[in-house]
Amino acid sequence: MRLTALLAMAARVKVHPDYRYGTSRPWTVGAQRMNPPGKKRRKVFVEPIQPEDWSLFKGDTVEVLAGKDSGKQGKISQVIRARNWVILEGLNTHYRYIGKSGEYRGTYIASESPLLVREVALVDPSDRKPTQVEWRFTEEGERVRVSLRSGRILPKPVVQRRDGVVPEQWKDGPKDTSPDDALEKTYSASLKTFEEEIAEATGVVETRAGRRTFWY
C-alpha cells in the first residue's frame, strides 16, 4: 500500500458502528477513555433528521423549552449532529472541578450539558418568542429559514473563523500569491503529457532508450 495512504489511515480515527458520541471529539484523550476498544454500551437512538432539514447553527439565539433553564434564551456555542445535540453558552449547567492535581481540588467551573434539538426552539427576532421554523425559497431562489408564526426570514448567523481571519481585511504576506496571479489562466490544452511539457520547457532532451522491462 502507498506510504501516504497508510499514514493518512493512521491519522484518521476509526469509530465502530455502535460508537457512542460524546461532547469530546473522538480523537481526544477523554473520548478514548469513554470509549475504549472493547467497551459495549446500550445503543442510543438518535432521531433521524435529514441534513437539509437541520435548522440550528452555531451562533443562533434559541430558547430552552425543557429542563432546568427552561424559558431562558441563549446562543448556541456548539452543535453535535451525531447525537442531535446543541450546547448553549452558560445555560443548562452543572458544576465541576477541573485541573485537579495531588491535594489541590482544582477550579470550580460551570460546564454546560447538551440539549436535544427538540428541547430548544429558534427565537423569532421580531417578537423574541420561540417559533417553529421551515426552509423555504425566496424570490431570488435562495433557501432560507422562515418563522411559521410571523413569516420573518431568519438569516444564518455569521460566525468568526477559528483562525480569526476576516477575508475582507486580509493583507497578503510575502509568501502569498496575489489574487490576480492565482486566478490567471496559463493552461492550454495539448496532447502532450505533463512530463513531455516539462521536458520541452526546460530543454531536457532524452536520447537514451530505457532497457526492456516486463510487467506481470
Site string for other proteins, 74-113 (x = CB under 8 A): ----------------------------------------
Query: What whole-number distance in Å separates Cα of residue 75 and Cα of residue 154?
Result: 14
CB of 102 or CB of 174, closer to other proteins: 174
10 binds other proteins (CB under 8 A): no
Output the smallest distance, CB 99 to other proteins, in A.
Answer: 19
Of the CA atoms within 13 Å of residue 66, those in its CB half-sphere come to 6
The H-or-E segment that residue 202 falls in is helix 194-202
Residue 186: C-alpha distances to residues 1, 189, 198, 201, 202 (Å): 35, 10, 14, 14, 17
Q: Is 16 among the residues that bind other proteins (CB under 8 A)?
A: no
In the complex with other proteins, the residue whose CB is nearer, 8 or 153, is 8
Rounded least distance, CB 195 to other proteins, Å: 9
Binding window for other proteins (CB under 8 A); candidates: 86-94, 98-106, 138-146, 176-184: 176-184
Partners of 80 in beta bridges: 85
Half-sphere exposure in the Cβ direction for 196 (13 Å, CA): 4
User: Which residue in the set 5, 98, 182, 205 belongs to the binding site for other proteins (CB under 8 A)?
Assistant: 182
* CA dist 69 → 87, 115, 120, 132, 190 (Å): 13, 11, 11, 19, 66
Q: Which of 95, 104, 108, 170 binds other proteins (CB under 8 A)?
A: 170
The residue from 166, 172, 205, 209 that contacts other proteins (CB under 8 A) is 172
**Is residue 206 near other proteins by the rule CB under 8 A?**
no
- What contacts 108, CB < 8 A, 6 or more positions away? 95, 96, 97
Residues in touch with other proteins (CB under 8 A): 45, 47-48, 118, 163, 165, 170, 172-177, 181-188, 191, 193-194, 197-198, 201-202, 211, 213-216
